[in-house]
């Protein structure tokens, strides 16, 4: 039956330790013991939501290039929108809880985790970090409730890794701001009621809250795509977009403003990428135990076991890294270069795990009945946005050597 095979879940792959404890088969070093009961309970709640609402439909959504807007209210009810923000109707979850939620969401699909990231870590964080009390009270409660969707307009057609060269410009005319420019690869823009737009001004880079029904604002979906198909990315055109002075985010001046939001999203990616890797690994493991070749299961061959072991090792290392970053973040000690460690390493390893998992599935692995190639395709985007491998390599190179090498 087309798309009829259920995807693997963590619960379907468990083992009993020598001490009688039940442990997920991917968890080689008992990583679960590092989390509190509250953290595990929240993780399991999100995992149940993914199993119930995302897994049954994701192959169809991906194939049809549809984002399932019907699940937004349920995400809001679970407290997934702006989950790490405090006050203003936001859930106020810890960094580790946010990470575990990102892990489970991306085990379903990168596009669904990206929705939560754009809404909470980018659009809502911009208002929470840089907005006035009036802006926070006006927007954040309704965004946490899923009543208002936001997007984050930073990247431009000719300014991806170098946002300092953005061409979008906002000029002041009396009590108004007037914005002209273009943005590209802007997630959720056709779904959004507001856009956080970053523009150059005579006073440097500034951020603005732009209602998407403002005359001159146009969002166009980017199609067709080979990645992130169950998500929405758009081109934006801003032509003489007029805004009141109150649209300015007063706390954001210079590139530090958007970068502080990007770091929130990059942190979540370090967790999410491991979710895609874990799901691919478990799918390949289950398949290898059931698929017979030459009268024995694929799992019984040394070459297959080597692949599975290498995948499991990198997943365990990636989760340990993400957990350490989460503990540092909750302690207020997480440095930007440490976020680059997580984003660079975990995306790079996750995409290799997904590709390797596909090889175990053979020809069946190119169908949407199985998740690894879908995850690998999605990770091509995840690996690129919020800083490419090259950018994070240079961030770390600068940290190690003290010599910036971006130019």
pLDDT of residue 15: 61
Asked if residue 227 has pLDDT above 80, the reply is: yes
pLDDT of residue 8: 47
DSSP string spanning 206-236?
A: EEEEEETTSTTEEEEE--S-SS-TTS-EEEE
387 touches 262 (CB < 8 A): yes
pLDDT of residue 14: 67
| Ordered domains of the chain (ranges, CATH) | 14-145 (1.10.540.10), 150-253 (2.40.110.10), 257-401 (1.20.140.10)
Average the pLDDT over 218-239 and give the result. Answer: 97
Query: Which helix (H) or strand (E) covers residue 113, if one does?
Result: helix 110-116
364 touches 3 (CB < 8 A): no
Average the pLDDT over 241-247 and give the result. Answer: 98
Which residues have CB under 8 Å from 300's CB, separation 6+? none
More confident residue, 1 or 228: 228
Query: What's the start-to-end Cα distance of the chain, in Å?
Result: 53
Percent of the chain with pLDDT over 70: 94
Please state, in angstroms and rounded to a whole number, the distance separating the CA atoms of residues 264 and 259. 9
DSSP string spanning 16-85?
A: E-TTS-EEETT-TT-GGGGS-HHHHHHHHHHHHHIIIIITTTHHHHHHHT---GGGHHHHHHTT-TTTT-
Render pLDDT for 264-294 as a digit per residue (tens, 0 to 9). Answer: 999 999 999 999 999 999 999 999 999 999 9
Q: Cβ of 289: how many Cβ atoms within 10 Å? A: 14
pLDDT of residue 26: 83
Asked if residue 13 has pLDDT above 80, the reply is: no
- What average pLDDT is seen over the chain? 94
Active-site annotation holds for 173:
no
Collapsed DSSP state (helix, strand, coil) of residue 362: helix
Nearest CA to 69 among 107, 103, 104, 119? 119
Out of 21, 74, 386, 390, pick the active-site residue.
386
Asked if residue 18 has pLDDT above 70, the reply is: no
pLDDT of residue 22: 63
352 touches 280 (CB < 8 A): no
């Amino acid at each position: 039956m087309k798309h009829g095979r259920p995807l693997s879940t963590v619960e379907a792959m468990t083992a009993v330790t020598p001490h009688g404890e039940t442990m997920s088969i991917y968890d080689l070093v008992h990583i679960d013991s590092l989390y509190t009961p509250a953290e595990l309970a929240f993780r399991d709640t999100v995992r149940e939501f993914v199993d119930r609402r995302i897994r049954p439909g994701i192959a169809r959504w991906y194939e049809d290039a549809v984002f399932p807007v019907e699940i937004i209210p349920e995400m809001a009810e679970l407290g997934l929108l702006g989950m790490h923000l405090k006050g203003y109707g936001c859930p106020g979850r810890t960094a580790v809880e946010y990470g575990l939620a990102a892990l489970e969401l991306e085990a379903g699909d990168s596009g669904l985790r990206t929705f939560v990231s754009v809404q909470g870590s980018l659009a809502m964080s911009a208002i929470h970090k840089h907005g006035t009390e009036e802006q926070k009270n006006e927007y954040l409660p309704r965004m946490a409730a899923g009543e208002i969707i936001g997007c984050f307009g930073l990247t431009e057609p000719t300014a991806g890794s170098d946002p300092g060269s953005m061409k979008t410009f906002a000029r002041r005319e009396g009590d108004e701001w007037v914005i002209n420019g273009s943005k590209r690869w802007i997630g959720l823009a056709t779904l959004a009621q507001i856009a956080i737009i970053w523009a150059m001004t005579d006073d440097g880079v500034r951020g603005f809250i732009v209602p998407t029904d403002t005359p001159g604002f146009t969002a166009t979906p980017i199609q067709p795509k080979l990645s992130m198909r169950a998500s929405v990315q758009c081109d934006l055109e801003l032509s003489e977009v007029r805004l009141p002075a109150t649209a300015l985010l007063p706390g954001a001046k210079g590139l530090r403003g958007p970068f502080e939001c990007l770091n929130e999203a990059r942190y979540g990616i370090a967790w999410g990428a491991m979710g895609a890797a874990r799901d691919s690994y478990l799918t390949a493991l289950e398949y290898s135990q059931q698929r017979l070749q030459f009268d024995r299961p694929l799992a019984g061959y040394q070459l297959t076991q080597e692949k599975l072991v290498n995948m499991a090792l990198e997943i365990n290392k990636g989760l340990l890294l993400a957990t350490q970053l989460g503990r540092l973040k909750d302690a207020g000690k997480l440095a930007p270069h440490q976020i680059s460690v997580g984003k660079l390493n975990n995306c790079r390893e996750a995409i290799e795990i997904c590709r390797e998992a596909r090889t175990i599935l053979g020809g069946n692995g190119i169908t949407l009945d199985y998740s690894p190639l879908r995850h690998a395709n999605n990770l091509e985007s995840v690996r690129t946005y919020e800083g490419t491998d090259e950018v994070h390599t240079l961030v770390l190179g600068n940290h190690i050597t003290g010599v910036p090498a971006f130019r």
